[in-house]
Structure 1
Amino acid sequence: METLIIVVIIFGLLVSIHELGHLIVAKRSGILCREYAIGFGPKLFAIKRGETVYTLRLLPIGGYVRMAGEDPETFEVKPGQSIGIFLNDRNQVTRIVSDHLEKYPNARFLTVEHCDLDKELYLSGYEEENGPLIQYAIDRQATYVSDHQDFQIAPHDRQFASKPLLARFLTIFAGPFMNLVLAVVIFIIYFSIQGVPSNQPQLGTVIDGYSAQKYGLVSGDRILQIDGQGIKSWQDIAGYVSKHPKQKIEMTVERNGEQQQIELLTGERKGANGKPEGMIGVYQPTIHSFAASIGAGFSQTYYWIKMEFVGLKMLISGGFDLNNLAGPVGIYNATGAVVSQGLFFVLNWTAFLSVNLAVINLLPLPALDGGRLMFIIFEALRGKPIEPQKEALVHFIGFAFLMILMLLVTWNDLQNLFTR
């Protein structure tokens, strides 16, 4: 249960920050944002602030910002249709009701002759069968009623597709970008607490019960030589020790301005390649500096971005074991293992997942942010947009492919889970 709660919190944070990026830039670009949703499926909570409804939905597997113009408007007023309207003191239409008219006795009723909710923003019709044609201007923030809920109309200049290429590009790019910002912030917090790793030839925390502690080494000792070999960095220390498992080594140590010789027997552990490597039970030294933490936050984020692309390159070239691909189940299990190791590991894991979400979303695949950016770039090169129907079809096919891939990866997760 603890793992489930942590997973929901982590993914809720990653998704909410991602969608917040889209929302902020869209609003600053003048795009009408109808809904900011965390999760999919039935609504658990909804509150309206300004033009946007903020919702929390049942399935915590994603989120979205519903921007006007991304999809065809669902509300349409056709000639001959009977509607009810409400007017403001300037005789402008502020509300349009197209069904269940009997529930709105205070409305003004008419039969529509023509209605333009997109550019001209006017409505004409007849209040009586043989009466005169009456025309009303429609307020830019007028609403229409659907299923007893009011939704704001979207004039053409408030729609996503009407905005300049750069505004649309930045609106889409802002989601993955905010995930990278989140990763930087989390890493800065992590390094501010834990300290920034230093490459100085000193010992960090000495672990009780291991060789370093048993043979008298203490945190802060500066290592000058090992077996007569000069030491200039932490990497020199770690590299030399790892190559000498279960061997006696002699260190020249500087402590409080004095030098002394300490002989110790190294321990042994299994390395990343499965071969034994030496260890003495000390951590790398750290620097506690906020300025250093900021630098480390950016460099660590860059490191994981680079590693993501290395992994993608291996996946394309065939050098990556597909059995190592993880879906929701795999990520859940990995998160459980991380949670058991403590808060600092959870922070690192969250930042890594945030980078992963950003990079994956920027891939030029249909249905992802990267695919949508490719259509915008193609429009810039072509000089005109792709037909909306064709773009929607491509994204639909891409989404279906991603769902199939997700099912296959989840099946792989389950197989790995039950074969361990």
Structure 2
Amino acid sequence: MQMIQTVFLTVLVFFVIVTIHEWGHYFFAKRAGILVREFAIGFGPKVISFKRGETRYTLRLIPAGGFVRMAGEDPEIVEVQPGQTVAVRLKDGVVQRIYLDRLDERKDVLRGEVVSIDLERNLHIDLDVEGEVEKYQVHPTAHIIARSTETQIAPIDRQFGSKTVGQRALAIFAGPMMNFILAFILFLLYVQMAGVRENVQIGALLPDTPAVEAKMQVGDIITAVNGEAVGTDYTRMINIIAKHPNKPIVIDFIRDGNPQSLTITPVPNEQGEGKIGVQAAFGTRAPTLGETFTGGVTLMKEMTVLIMDGLKMLVTLQVELDDLGGPVRTAEITSQIARQGIVQLTSWTATLSLYLGIFNLLPVPALDGSRLLFIGLEAIRRKPISPNKESFVHFIGFALLMLLMLVVTYNDIVRLIRGE
């Protein structure tokens, strides 16, 4: 049962942080009037697929991210050319369906050869029907049917490229933005669940150590060491003790509400640092609203700095392959943290969401940062960059990212097999 719960929580973590990212793209694209063709979690073959309204929602086999496919971002797959024989279905004289194959099997349709067609601006189709050219208006949400697949047409005002620089930038930035919002909310929840540290306590005593000989007890609240107040800083306590190997020190503590003190002589470890043989625990209390907010801000800031430092090392090639981790290693660590409980898992999920948001803003081809860079260049130049050139750059970037992902994943699997 524990294993099933761990697997479920691990999958849930990935699902939540990826879904909230793609939902950000989806929501602001729809708000701008862009036709969203697909909302996908994962890459590769479809596992689950269904359509609601204009958008197809898919769960794909490879759990390495997701995407929102907007009309106009890439060349449309289905094209209708003059001279092509098609069948159309009309409603109130307006074309609702355009069939490209199995024309003899279609019922209640008009069949003819395309003379001219415009599915982006004027929305019309002219058909040669038995030698007479007939003109028809095409509905803005008409569908093209080919190989049993329906594709909704995308008039120019429904395409990504037709929107303002601000609308496009917001639709792209919204993915990382939602990750930042999720991370902050989860950090706030973590502060609420973990509480605010009130003091440093003895959490455990190691056998045959000075603390045991001095009859210290689990639960003793340490207030000062050699006259220096400890407060909630366990590291400060350890540092003071470490400076006094084989030298008596006075530890002030509270036991059962009564202040007490005793003298202990730390013993040196292999590094020559003084140790008394205790492990820390922390007394906590429920945080106030202000403490919850400031605690969440502090955690957000500290984790951002750590993530940026890690990315800096990656960019400057100060890391080795074994230092990198792909989906396999991330899932492994997530499952380990899931076993520690919901409190630690909440903090880890916040960190992953923050990392995903920051990573996606890097100016690396195929990532949101690169797409924002192209939009920024367009704003400066006051004219768009060639869509073909931009698509080629993103394609190369995506291919390289997938190659790196494969290498890192292979290394993670090998490491797991070896038990490292």
Same fold (TM over 0.5): yes
Aligned pair partner of 1:78 in 58, 78, 81: 81
Q: For residue 203 of structure 2, what is the aligned residue in structure 1?
A: 207
Q: For residue 168 of structure 1, what is the aligned residue in structure 2?
A: 168
Q: Which is worse superposed, 324-333 or 279-288?
A: 279-288
Q: CA deviation at 1:259?
A: 3.8
Decide whether the 8 Å contact of 1:124 with 1:135 is kept in 2: yes
Q: Does residue 24 in structure 1 map to residue 21 in structure 2?
A: no
For residues 121 and 69 of structure 1, what CA distance do their matches in structure 2 show?
16
Q: CA deviation at 1:24?
A: 0.6
Q: For residue 58 of structure 1, what is the aligned residue in structure 2?
A: 61
Q: Does residue 150 in structure 1 map to residue 146 in structure 2?
A: no
Q: Structure 1: which amino acid aligns with 2:365?
A: P
Q: Structure 2: which amino acid aligns with 1:339?
A: A
Decide whether the 8 Å contact of 1:203 with 1:218 is kept in 2: no
Q: For residue 289 of structure 1, what is the aligned residue in structure 2?
A: 287
Decide whether the 8 Å contact of 2:78 with 2:151 is kept in 1: no
Q: Does residue 9 in structure 1 map to residue 7 in structure 2?
A: no
Q: Structure 1: which amino acid aligns with 2:203?
A: I
Q: For residue 104 of structure 1, what is the aligned residue in structure 2?
A: 106
CA spacing shift, 1:85–1:319, aligned 2, 3 Å: closer
CA spacing shift, 1:377–1:279, aligned 2, 3 Å: farther
State the Cα deviation string for residues 29-52 of structure 1 (Å, max 9, x = none). 111001111122333322322211
Three-state SS of the structure 2 residue aligned to 1:366 is coil
Q: For residue 50 of structure 2, what is the aligned residue in structure 1?
A: 47
Decide whether the 8 Å contact of 2:244 with 2:274 is kept in 1: no
State the Cα deviation string for residues 105-124 of structure 1 (Å, max 9, x = none). 11122221111000111111
For residues 85 and 346 of structure 2, what CA distance do their matches in structure 1 show?
58
Q: For residue 126 of structure 1, what is the aligned residue in structure 2?
A: 128
Q: For residue 189 of structure 2, what is the aligned residue in structure 1?
A: 189
CA spacing shift, 1:307–1:126, aligned 2, 3 Å: same
CA spacing shift, 1:419–1:54, aligned 2, 3 Å: closer
State the Cα deviation string for residues 154-180 of structure 1 (Å, max 9, x = none). 100110011111111111111111112
Q: Which is worse superposed, 387-396 or 287-296?
A: 287-296
Decide whether the 8 Å contact of 2:325 with 2:408 is kept in 1: yes
Aligned pair partner of 2:71 in 68, 73, 84: 68
State the Cα deviation string for residues 244-271 of structure 1 (Å, max 9, x = none). 5787532234678864324456699999
Could you tell me which runs of 5 or more consecutive residues in structure 1 were left unpaired when the two chains were aligned. Answer: none
Query: How many residues are paired up?
Result: 409
For residues 187 and 119 of structure 2, what CA distance do their matches in structure 1 show?
48
State the Cα deviation string for residues 308-335 of structure 1 (Å, max 9, x = none). 1112223344544443111233323323
| Structural mapping, 1:1-400, within 5 Å | 2=4, 4-89=7-92, 91-129=93-131, 131=132, 133-196=133-196, 198=197, 202-203=199-200, 206-209=202-205, 211=211, 215-216=216-217, 218=219, 221=221, 223=223, 225-231=224-230, 234=233, 236-241=236-241, 243=243, 249-253=249-253, 259-264=259-264, 280-289=278-287, 291=289, 292-400=291-399
Could you tell me which runs of 5 or more consecutive residues in structure 2 were left unpaired when the two chains were aligned. Answer: none
State the Cα deviation string for residues 366-400 of structure 1 (Å, max 9, x = none). 01111111111111122211111111111121122
Three-state SS of the structure 2 residue aligned to 1:385 is coil
Q: CA RMSD in A?
A: 3.0
Decide whether the 8 Å contact of 2:176 with 2:360 is kept in 1: yes
CA spacing shift, 1:34–1:266, aligned 2, 3 Å: farther
CA spacing shift, 1:166–1:36, aligned 2, 3 Å: same
Q: Structure 2: which amino acid aligns with 1:307?
A: L
State the Cα deviation string for residues 278-305 of structure 1 (Å, max 9, x = none). 6632324434125222332232122211
Q: Which is worse superposed, 66-75 or 232-241?
A: 232-241
Three-state SS of the structure 2 residue aligned to 1:307 is helix
For residues 339 and 124 of structure 2, what CA distance do their matches in structure 1 show?
62
Decide whether the 8 Å contact of 2:42 with 2:64 is kept in 1: yes
Three-state SS of the structure 1 residue aligned to 2:307 is helix
Q: CA deviation at 1:152?
A: 1.6
Decide whether the 8 Å contact of 1:84 with 1:109 is kept in 2: yes
For residues 342 and 56 of structure 1, what CA distance do their matches in structure 2 show?
28
Decide whether the 8 Å contact of 2:191 with 2:295 is kept in 1: yes
Three-state SS of the structure 2 residue aligned to 1:289 is coil
For residues 88 and 270 of structure 1, what CA distance do their matches in structure 2 show?
86
Q: Structure 1: which amino acid aligns with 2:286?
A: H
For residues 19 and 141 of structure 1, what CA distance do their matches in structure 2 show?
24
CA spacing shift, 1:12–1:229, aligned 2, 3 Å: closer
Q: CA deviation at 1:346?
A: 2.3
